Amino acid sequence: MSTFDTGTPRGTFARAGVLARLGAPRILARGAGLLFSLLVTLFGLLLVTFLIARVVPLDPVLAVVGDRATQAQYEAARVELGLDRPLPEQFVRYVSEVVRGDLGQSNLTSRPVLEDIARAFPATLELATLATLIGVLLGIPAGVVGAVTQGRWPDQVIRVVGLLGYSMPVFWLGLVALLVFYGQLGWTAGPGRLDVTEQFTYEMDVTRYTGSVILDSAFSGAWDVLRNALAHVVLPAGVLGYFSMAYLARMTRSFMLEQLGQEYVTAARVKGVPEWRVVWVHALGNAMVPLITVIALSYASLLEGSVLTETVFAWPGLGLYITQALFAADFNAVLGGTLVIGATFIVLNLLSDLLYTLVDPRAR
């Protein structure tokens, strides 16, 4: 019997082999395309951060030597920093240093910028992650309910709450939250990640696995530190989570209204599929495809946009670090933090593209 006879096992295996050979080039081409896009985006990010350092009307040499340095000291520092060389040569040197993991030394802390970022970024990551979880767990169900009850009072309430969360300044809401829940009611702890005594315990007794106070204290069994950390994080995470919830509820409602008007929803209802399954499985399942990108961008914006929240709550994260470095004209710290935030955006966009294949079979 012929090998290509699909009625035989040999024919089945041959066809599967042909499909596998046809699929492999597509997978390789997609992987190469993603890698090329990643490299181009990273190159653009490096170019932008480099140009920012050159067009800002502040002298990085003065930030190093001070305004009382002599002209000879100024020129020596300028040569040491490589600022006397042509711009293309400066850019090549900048890229080579970044590739080696050298983001320069901070004038503010006198430590390598990469070391400072490694200390500050886990705090921002902890805060943004908790805020995103609050936004996802509350915002998506609220958006679904708003779409299902379009025009009725639950929809009106959800839209008003979302509009307030999307409109109020984050620093104002943070100050009000501190005044009410910490100053007046005493329900939460104050600014900072930990109280002074718990901070000492954390420094001395807690093993730092991740840099997150909540996770590290839980892994180490330091329950007093864990309770104190949760009491401190609830207000800033709640403020950022409220903004995330408002944004996600608005986008979820929009996507769900579009899906509920599709023909497959009408067909499912005609077939007698339970309404909860039509809404929460079929419609929400299709709405999750664009929602993945929205959630990823919201998470990335919280990682880079929590500067005011970290300032109000004295949260020692990356946003506060960049703000202090900017006021001190510490360009290495500012550019290093900007580079990390930009790389985070790129990575989250890449992960959202990869998640499409898990959520939407058509993407596979």
Please give the structure tokens belonging to residue 199: 């901070």
What's the structural domain count of the chain? Answer: 2
Whether 148 and 20 share a structural domain: no
Alpha carbon 251 to its chain's center: 18
Whether 119 and 93 share a structural domain: no
Backbone Cα Rg of the chain: 26
Bridge partners (DSSP) listed for residue 112: 105
Whether 202 and 89 share a structural domain: no
How many degrees, rounded to 5, is the angle at CA 104 between CA 103 and CA 110? 130
Domain that holds residue 189: 113-363
- Looking at residue 207, what is its pLDDT? 84
- Looking at residue 15, what is its pLDDT? 47
pLDDT tens sequence for the chain (364 residues): 444 444 444 444 444 454 444 455 666 676 677 777 777 888 888 888 788 777 766 666 776 666 677 777 777 877 777 777 787 888 888 888 888 888 888 877 878 888 898 888 889 889 999 999 999 999 999 999 999 999 899 999 999 998 888 788 888 888 898 899 988 888 888 888 888 888 888 888 888 888 888 998 988 888 888 999 999 999 999 999 998 999 999 999 999 999 998 898 889 888 888 989 999 988 998 888 889 888 988 888 887 657 778 888 888 888 888 888 877 777 788 888 888 888 888 888 778 777 776 766 665 5
* Contact by Cβ (8 Å): 105, 332: yes
Whether 180 and 300 share a structural domain: yes
- Looking at residue 324, what is its pLDDT? 83
**Final residue before a domain boundary, out of 40, 73, 99:** 99
**Final residue before a domain boundary, out of 99, 127, 159:** 99
Whether 89 and 117 share a structural domain: no
Report the amino acid identity of residue 299.
Y
Considering the entire predicted model, what is its pTM?
0.79
Please give the structure tokens belonging to residue 185: 């009611």
Whether 162 and 273 share a structural domain: yes
**Residue 4 domain-assigned?**
no
CB atoms under 10 Å from CB of 225, counted, come to 24
Whether 305 and 210 share a structural domain: yes
CA distances from 94 to 48, 62, 185, 251 (A): 12, 19, 51, 40
Whether 95 and 118 share a structural domain: no
